[in-house]
A and B are shown apart, each in its own frame.
Chain A
């Protein structure tokens, strides 16, 4: 526990870097939530699948950690649409609580399947990028964190561009705004939901490849990262891309600063505290004044 300026600056720098990844993870969640009004409680577990995949590709197949993105992204897209078809599509019109229970069930299955297959071990990798650091004004930034931050920005921007300019993006936005009107305009709304679910999951593939070089994976890794995604989405405002991106950075900074000035894992209490306060007082999110 220190309050010296360098420690704070260092915490701010690392918080910003990880915050970028939080933002990318949460953008996937908010896309699904915003489009089909389904809260996917298995979102964190999808990310866990991506992390294990990235781990095995690097540790067992010897791939370059950042090239794994070419496999994890389509793989997570397929995982997303497979789970959507098998479990979510049949209950699209059911009460929201049934959908929540269902995705909770999916998360229990995935989490414990990982426990059965890979045991409870915490796995991490050492890559040729590990240990390369840049020092700027006393603040150390590692190359892996920097790549994760920049990669997340690029991926989020690309997704934003796709949603704003392509036909597929217009289908998705139209289905989100008014499914009935979208159907009348000739859009296959269920197919669009499938696409949106796949794309929301594919974001986690990108995030997994960016995270793995400096993070870890374990069967319960999705529990915390999934909750963080909920925190970020609520803070940023459901379906609000820019809000969610800013909120991701804020939560990254909060987590990192909290860990620097509070003992143990007490900073988590702080993060969840912010979440609860926001849900109570400002459930529309930080940017609610200027709705997109």
Chain B
């Protein structure tokens, strides 16, 4: 039982701290808080496949886009509530995730080749929706604002959106934490660390990777639906494509790959910085925030490949061991080419 207490405690602390924000923040800062949570949620969803199962998808924009377009299209055309739309989007993305997972892992694609297929698929999706009249073509779809209608996931002000994305992020963190102590979670890590050994130990590696893709895809799609409702607009390149896919995984990589809190920590540190950069420089220097993301990504890979949370963990372990007692873990450093 103590295991649950141990992980519920930080979640409750985070939730309480987050709930104070609406009381003290202005609308602009609430907007930034929502952005932080959106990217934290998406990166946490990606982290299940990319961090835990070790399959670096560079095409999660595919699932985000499916979620965003599904709920938006259904809301515009049939007046369907985005609450139902996001479930339909998640189911579609799960099906697509199953298909992509099956096709790629069945043929043994790994590492760079898997990454390339996922990029190609999300880029192909950009051109599919750009040429699809019902989906608004290259212009995209606009969500019509109907006033303060919680049932249509539309609110006056930021509070409603903030609470929804906060609950989503907490749920994603809890799902990840829950995986940590479950067989499925252990299987994911086994696949990541040594696939042959996992297979030899009787782990169904193909099934594990496909399930991870399905779960990750469905969660990402829900994030896409929220994204569309909050920004009231979806376009081919805002939710599909390489750039948005890289943004999704960025926070997980920088925060700490395969850790529960890494994606959230990454988003909390980076998103506000980038948004202030955009607010200060955005008019004269378009793209300043992506420039910052790129620079931080390069520096992370050069100097702390385990991310912020990973670095903190390593430092803590080192301190616990005491000085002079170097860890024996094989660090990927030095050596010949």
Q: Which of B103, B127, B286, B290 contacts A119 (CB 8 A)?
A: B286
Does A93 lie within 8 Å of B116, measured CB to CB? Answer: no
B142 to chain A, nearest CB (A): 21
Q: B295 → chain A, closest Cβ, in Å?
A: 6
B246 interface residue, CB < 8 Å from A?
A: yes
Question: Does A265 contact B290, Cβ atoms closer than 8 Å?
Answer: no
Given A91-B305, A268-B123, A269-B124, 7 new contacts (CB under 8 A): A87-B298, A99-B301, A105-B295, A108-B290, A230-B119, A264-B131, A280-B117
Digit string of B57-78 for contact with A (CB within 8 Å is 1, else 0)?
0100000000000000000000
Residue in A36, A94, A112, A268 whose CB lies within 8 Å of B305: A94
Please indicate which of the listed interface residues A94, A101, A272 has the most CB atoms of chain B within 10 Å of its own CB: A101
- Contact partner of A112 among B128, B290, B298, CB < 8 A? B290
Known A-B contacts A93-B332, A106-B298, A264-B131; A115 and B116 likewise in contact (beta carbons under 8 Å)? no
Complex CA gap A273/B117 in Å reads 10
Instruction: Return B79 CB to nearest CB of chain A, in Å.
Output: 29
Residue B335 is within 8 A (CB to CB) of chain A in the complex: yes
Task: Specify which of B56, B131, B288, B294 is in contact with A106 (CB 8 Å cutoff).
Answer: B294
1/0 per position for B230-256, CB-CB distance to A under 8 A? 000000000000110010000001000
Decide if A105 touches B294 in the complex (CB within 8 Å). Answer: yes
Alpha-carbon separation in the docked complex, A169 to B222 (Å): 52
Question: Which residues on B sit within 8 Å (CB–CB) of A100?
Answer: 56, 58, 112, 115
Q: Which of A36, A87, A109, A179 contacts B291 (CB 8 A)?
A: A109
A116 to B300: give the CA distance in the assembly, Å. Answer: 23
Query: Is A153 on the interface with B (CB-CB < 8 A)?
Result: no
On whether the beta carbons of B286 and A115 are closer than 8 Å, the reply is yes
B337 contacts A266, C-beta separation under 8 Å:
no
Residue of B nearest to A33 (CB): B112
User: Which chain A residues lie closer than 8 Å to B253 at the CB level?
Assistant: 101
Write out the residue numbers on chain A whose beta carbons fall within 8 Å of the beta carbon of B297: 101-102, 104-105, 108
Neighbouring B residues of A190 by C-beta, 8 Å: 337
Evaluate contact between A265 and B294: CB separation under 8 angstroms: no
Q: Which residues of B contact A98 (CB under 8 A)?
A: 301, 305, 332
Check B124–A273 contact: CB distance below 8 A: yes
Q: Say whether B198 faces chain A, with CB atoms less than 8 Å apart.
A: no
For the complex, give the distance between the alpha carbons of A113 and B58 in Å: 22
Which one of A36, A95, A279 has the greatest number of beta carbons of chain B within 10 Å? A279
Contact in complex: A279, B123 (CB < 8 Å): no
The interface size of chain A toward B, counting residues with CB under 8 Å, comes to 56
Question: Separation in Å of the B210 CB from the closest CB of chain A?
Answer: 15
Chain A residue at minimum C-beta to C-beta distance from B114:
A279
Q: Which residues of A contact B131 (CB under 8 A)?
A: 263-266, 269
Cross-chain contact B286 with A120 (CB below 8 angstroms):
yes
| Bound: A263/B130 CA distance, A | 11
On whether the beta carbons of A283 and B298 are closer than 8 Å, the reply is no
B interface with A by C-beta (< 8 Å): 56, 58, 103-104, 107, 109, 111-113, 115-117, 119-121, 123-124, 127-128, 130-131, 242-243, 246, 253, 285-288, 290-291, 293-298, 300-302, 305, 332-337
How distant is the Cα of A90 from the Cα of B302 in the complex, in angstroms?
7
| Minimum CB–CB distance for A238 against chain B, Å | 10
Q: Which residue on A lies nearest to B333, using beta carbons?
A: A93
A-side contacts of B242, CB under 8 Å: 223, 227
| 9 A-B pairs with the lowest CB-CB distances in the bound complex, closest first | A108-B294, A105-B297, A115-B287, A112-B287, A109-B294, A105-B298, A272-B124, A112-B291, A102-B301
Residues of chain A within 8 A (CB-CB) of B113 are: 234, 279, 283
Q: A111-B290, A266-B127, A269-B124 are in contact. Are A279 and B116 (CB under 8 A)?
A: yes
> Is A280 in contact with B104, judged by CB distance below 8 angstroms?
yes
B337 close to A108 (CB less than 8 A): no
Residues of A within 8 A of B119 (CB): 227, 230
Judge whether A249 is part of the interface by a CB distance below 8 angstroms. Answer: no
Given contacts A108-B291, A189-B337, A269-B124, contact A102 B107 (CB under 8 A): no
Tell me the complex Cα distance, A111–B289, Å: 12
The answer to whether B301 and A264 touch across the interface, beta carbons within 8 angstroms, is no
- A16 within 8 Å of B (CB atoms): no
A180 within 8 A of partner (CB): yes
B293:A108 contact, CB within 8 angstroms: yes
Closest to B107 in A: A280
Query: Given the complex, which residues of A lie within 8 Å of B56, measured CB to CB?
Result: 97, 100-101
Given contacts A108-B294, A269-B127, A273-B124, contact A116 B287 (CB under 8 A): yes
Whether A92 pairs with B109 at a CB distance below 8 angstroms is no
